Amino acid sequence: MKASWKTGLSFGLTSGVITTLGLMVGLHSGTHSRAIVIGGILTIAIADAMSDALGIHVSEESNNSGPTRHVWEATLATFAAKFVIALSFVVPVVLRPLDQAIMISVVWGMFLLAALSFFVARAQAIPPWKVIGEHLFIALCVVAITHAVGDWAQGFVEAE
């Protein structure tokens, strides 16, 4: 696979999982509203995918390390990966009760990160369990922190 596509797909997948799960868990714990969680996911899929794609675009341009085609391939791959991954989290929210959908989404996100981490580790010829463990630990920290922030926000709003 071309380096530009690897850059965009790996960044988009990782960001799509971490950002979407963090937002979903935080919104769920703060509101317990299916509509708000779906709205958050759609916002991530559009606005954050475009933002990340532009970030990769500017980063690749600032490196001056390749042709313009490489920059645009990385940009489009980032957008496509982030958009599709973020939208994949809508499915359980639409099909299952919200509490179950959040758990299914966490498992789905961890699976995606583990699979990507496995391939990254193999490409670098390092033990996969180290890379997988590191990436899943970071993702689970995001989930735990955003859950706590959602609980805090709900308590803060209820106190007013």
- In sequence order, what DSSP letters do the residues of the chain get, joined into one string? --HHHHHHHHHHHHHHHHHHHHHHHHHHHHH--HHHHHHHHHHIIIIIHHHHHHHHHHHHHHHT-S-HHHHHHHHHHHHHHHHHHHHHTHHHHHHS-HHHHHHHHHHHHHHHHHHHHHHHHHHHTS-HHHHHHHHHHHHHHHHHHHHHHHHHHHHHHHT-
Structure tokens at 24: 């979903």
- Number of C-alpha atoms within 13 angstroms, CB side, residue 115? 9
Residue 157 has pLDDT above 80, yes or no: no
Lowest mean pLDDT among 38-42, 56-60, 90-94, 104-108: 56-60
Residue 160, pLDDT score:
65
pLDDT at 14 over 70: yes
Q: Domain coordinates of the chain in residue numbers?
A: 3-158
The model's pTM: 0.90
The pLDDT of residue 7 is above 80: yes
Mean pLDDT for the chain? 93
